[in-house]
Amino acid sequence: MNIIFMGPPGAGKGTQAERIVDEFKVPHISTGDAFRLAMKQGTPLGVEAKKYVDQGLLVPDEITIGIVRERLSQPDCDTGFLLDGFPRTISQAEALDQIASELNKKIDHVINLSVDRNLLLARLTGRRICKSCGATYHILFNPPAQELVCDKCSGELYQRSDDTEEKVGTRLDEYINKTAPLLEYYRNQGILREVNGEQEINTVTAQISSLLRGLA
């Protein structure tokens, strides 16, 4: 099954992806994670991406599309994949359709998580991530049992440098201007499904799971 998670920054895509890939046994492909890894390693891709990520701006399409093209060609995507944070522009969506057709694949489901802008700010500024395994927490809405320690692997939790109030504003504007128009693109293809991302984490997971199983 080939799935896309859409929604503004902080809607819960990563949180839900962690759970859904466990259930459906497909690789979780996050372009944001790919850029953060490259930035940490200081590769040429990371150096280039950092110029944009640090400002809360989208990385140029050519760079982002290249990463996804390479990743989807790997054998573990043969039985399906979950794209989280890609596509984010109409050009990326058109490129994805092209890549999929070259690889004899098609997108089966686009799940859109909707959350009000005011709540997104609280979610993003309170987000904490495990340095070791990447698990996502929230200081108020989904805290770990022990402060700043990952429940799953005991790794140390950190705050993303782009999860500050100032950068969140730019990121949400980028979403409105460049990514939100994609909803229409997928609605026209008849594969867009809406889920209210403001509900409790387990409720959102259960609704996505039902949709993907064709039960809702």
The residues of the shown chain that bind ligand ADP, judged by CB under 6 A, are 7, 9-15, 123, 126-127, 136-138, 141-142, 200-201, 204
Half-sphere exposure of 116 (CA within 13 A, CB side): 4
Counting contacts by CB under 6 A, is residue 93 touching ligand AMP? no
148 binds, among ligand AMP, ligand ADP, none (CB under 5 to 8 A by kind): none
| Token pair in block for residue 111 | 């799940």
Torsion of CA 209, 215, 113, 148, to 10 degrees: -20
| Token pair 């395994």: residue | 133
Among 45, 53, 72, 107, binds ligand AMP (CB under 6 A): 53
Rounded Cα gap, residues 99 and 88, in angstroms: 16
Window contacting ligand AMP (CB under 6 A); options: 86-94, 134-142, 189-197, 207-215: 86-94
Window contacting ligand AMP (CB under 6 A); options: 19-27, 52-60, 69-77, 145-153: 52-60
Catalytic residue among 36, 123, 127, 128: 127
| Token pair in block for residue 150 | 């990952």
Q: Is 171 a catalytic residue?
A: yes
Q: Is 160 a catalytic residue?
A: yes
Rounded Cα gap, residues 83 and 74, in angstroms: 14
Counting contacts by CB under 6 A, is residue 171 touching ligand AMP? yes
Counting contacts by CB under 6 A, is residue 32 touching ligand AMP? yes
Q: Is 13 a catalytic residue?
A: yes
Rounded Cα gap, residues 192 and 113, in angstroms: 11
Catalytic residue among 160, 178, 187, 193: 160
Judged by beta carbon, residue 2 or residue 64, the one nearer ligand AMP is 64
| Token pair in block for residue 17 | 């992806």
26 DSSP 8-state letter: -
| Residues carrying an active site annotation | 13, 88, 127, 160, 171
